[in-house]
Structure 1
Amino acid sequence: MRLDISIAAALASVPFAAAISGKSYTGWDCCKPACSWSANLARNVQGSPKVCDINNNPLANGLAATTGCSSGIGYLCDTYVPVPVSDTLSYGFATVGPTASCCKCYQLTWTSGAAKGKQMVVQVINSFGSGTNDVKGNDLVILAPGGGAGPNEAGCRSQYGRNWGSNNGGVTSGAECANLPQNLQGGCYWRYNWARGAINTWNIDYQQVACPSRLTSISGCSA
């Protein structure tokens, strides 16, 4: 635990840019990540986010796979679930507005909500375009099963036969996480056990940091 906290502190001490303020949201649509399309990857990005088949097995050429949201074979891997490493630090993956952030990492600190003061290091593997419903350009959508499918309902229906909770926000309690497939339940419970709430609309400050190997070893990319 102490090692992970030390890593987070070291990352925070060498930011790439000034801190940005926004809000946190959650989402999990099961679709192939937007950063796994070659057109969305900047030249300095090494590799590309892994894409899985319907059984969560990594595809050999995820860049070429069509998305399960459009009758394709590419889905969001279940390894992208958030993981707590201490009571005050978690690792995970996120969706942001610009695709220019693909494979970059950010350290965020909650400044409101039940997780106020807690931190998370996330790597961007997805994009929500110009903004979806209440989500604005400076906001971060943390990938968490049961977090809401957003506008892409077809992905989880194709991969698992259903969605969970509302499209915007997902499930509303830890008890509802038991309705998810077993391989996704831990990532759903993370919200209610670690963050102690739904996370949506909580204020955050975040800044770009060097990506830890703990994340790049899962995604297969770095920037």
Structure 2
Amino acid sequence: MTALALSLIPTAKASAQPTLKYLSDPVAGKTVRAWDCCKPSGAWPGKADVTAPVKACAKDGVTVVNASTQSGCSGGNSYACNNNQPWAVNTTMSYGFARANLPGRSEYDTSCACYALQFTSAAVKGKTHVVQVVGQGPDIGSNVFELLIPGGGVGLFNGCQSQWGAPSTGWGSQYGGVSSKADCAQLPSQLRAGCNWRFDWFLNADNPTVTFRRVKCPTAITDRSGCTRKVE
């Protein structure tokens, strides 16, 4: 792998439960889902005291571009990297990325920080999804994590249209995305693993509630984003 290239790491097979280092007490929250293909806001320089901004990619979703490159959602050529999609670690834990809206915490506080989300509702109840925050979440309430899931809906901004030739409202519904695993075939092959994750590991849970705790970021996550906070 070169310095200017990323490859999508295959979905992990079942393995021992990773040990998480908790950095805060649990707080109740909720989740929504989206994948708009836009450059993560954490990919801009100066967002936080980090080793480097979150990696952003060219239209192929693989080639890393300069942090100053304008977002594809604003007419530029910088997009979310393909490997920002979620993947299973084992049957009860998975890793991924998210945007977050946490009261009293600016992007300087949360950019590239990791949180363990333990689901408290729906079929996914009891499972844990560890995410790294790569941008500010939607202003729809406090303690909301917007999980980045391909085929999860493009929301207000559809960078997937310029990146992948997606329909004007994205794949499936503009908000919510595709409705079945079979519909994941509409997505480019590079994004289908994350779409399938939603229906396999995530059991197609619809915006489940969570309790979340700040954790030390697993290296498997920071290896993908290229971003680590200097002080966890």
TM normalised by structure 2 equals: 0.85
Aligned to 2:98: 94
> Where does residue 35 of structure 1 map in the other structure?
42
Q: Which residue of 2 aligns with 1:119?
A: 128
Q: Deviations over 1:166-206 (max 9, x none)?
A: 22211111121111111111100111111111x33311011
1:48 is aligned to 53
Q: Does 1:210 align with 2:207?
A: no
Supply the AA of the counterpart residue of 2:44. W
Q: Determine whether 1:165 maps to 2:165.
A: no
**Percent identity of equivalent pairs:** 38
- Give deviations 1:7-41, integer Å, cap 9, x for gaps: 2xx31xx42222121112111000100111224x2
- Larger helix proportion, structure 1 or 2? 1
Q: 1:31 to 1:60 in 2, by over 3 A?
A: closer
Query: What's the CA shift for 1:50?
Result: 0.4
SS at match of 2:221: helix
The 5-angstrom pairing of residues 176-215 of structure 1 reads: 176-197=183-204, 199-215=205-221
Aligned to 2:113: 104
Structure 1 length-normalised TM: 0.89
Q: Quick one: distance in 2 between partners of 1:192 and 1:18?
A: 30
Aligned partners of 1:72 and 1:60: how far apart in 2? Answer: 11
Checking the alignment, whether the CA contact within 8 Å between 1:49 and 1:103 is kept in structure 2 is yes
- State the 1:113 CA deviation: 0.5
1:88-145: CA deviation from partner (whole Å, max 9, x where unpaired): 110111111242311000111101001001111111112125x1xxx42201111110
- Deviating beyond 4 angstroms after TM superposition, the runs of 4 or more aligned structure 1 residues are none
2:81 paired with 1:77: yes
Q: In structure 2, what is the Cα distance between the partners aligned to 1:183 and 1:59? A: 16
Q: Distance in 2 between matches of 1:191 and 1:60?
A: 28
Unaligned runs of 5+ in 1: none
Aligned to 1:221, the other structure's residue is in SS state coil
Cα root mean square deviation, aligned: 1.4
In the alignment, what sits opposite 1:221? 227
State yes or no: 1:16 paired with 2:23: yes
The alpha-carbon distance between structure 1 residues 141 and 200, as it changes in their structure 2 partners (threshold 3 A), is farther
**When the two structures are aligned, how many residues end up with a matched partner?**
208
Instruction: Classify the secondary structure of the residue corresponding to 2:182.
Output: helix
3-state SS in 2 of match to 1:93: strand
Alpha-carbon contact 1:53-1:74 (below 8 Å) kept: yes
- In 1, the alpha carbon distance for the partners of 2:61 and 2:150 equals 14
